[in-house]
Amino acid sequence: MTEVELVAVALATGAAAGLTDSANGAVHDRYTGLKLAVRRRLRGAGARSLAGGYGVRILHAYETDPDMWRSRLLQVLTGSGVETDEEILAAARAVLRAERRTGYVTARTMHLPR
């Protein structure tokens, strides 16, 4: 799994965790931090690549339907350089670690290329 795919899986995992009535507070808190960091990165990337507003819209769309928006989100994340942002990568790993303890979505469920 690439760093960009790691971030995408963590975003989907956090969004899915938020849909349950018993959403784990640790997953939710880490997901909120990840989402804010990614949003900041996408807004900052606007001048270098894709328009920042477009990237944020794709991020929101991905939260509602990850299967439909996955490829576009991966393009947006790659264009923004998230794979080199240590804050975002650490936040993504934290979401997945917290999720592992509660068992929501896994990379296998996301059907990501290997």
Q: Is residue 54 included in any domain, yes or no?
A: yes
Q: First CA to last CA across the chain, in angstroms?
A: 6
Half-sphere exposure of 15 (CA within 13 A, CB side): 17
**What are 16-64's pLDDT values in tens digits?**
887 664 556 888 899 999 999 999 999 886 545 555 689 999 999 999 8
Q: Which residue has the higher pLDDT, 99 or 22?
A: 99
Q: Is residue 79 included in any domain, yes or no?
A: yes
Domain count, the chain: 1
Q: What is the reported pLDDT for 99?
A: 85
Q: Is residue 112 included in any domain, yes or no?
A: no
Q: Output the six-digit token pair for 56.
A: 């944020």
Q: Is residue 109 included in any domain, yes or no?
A: no
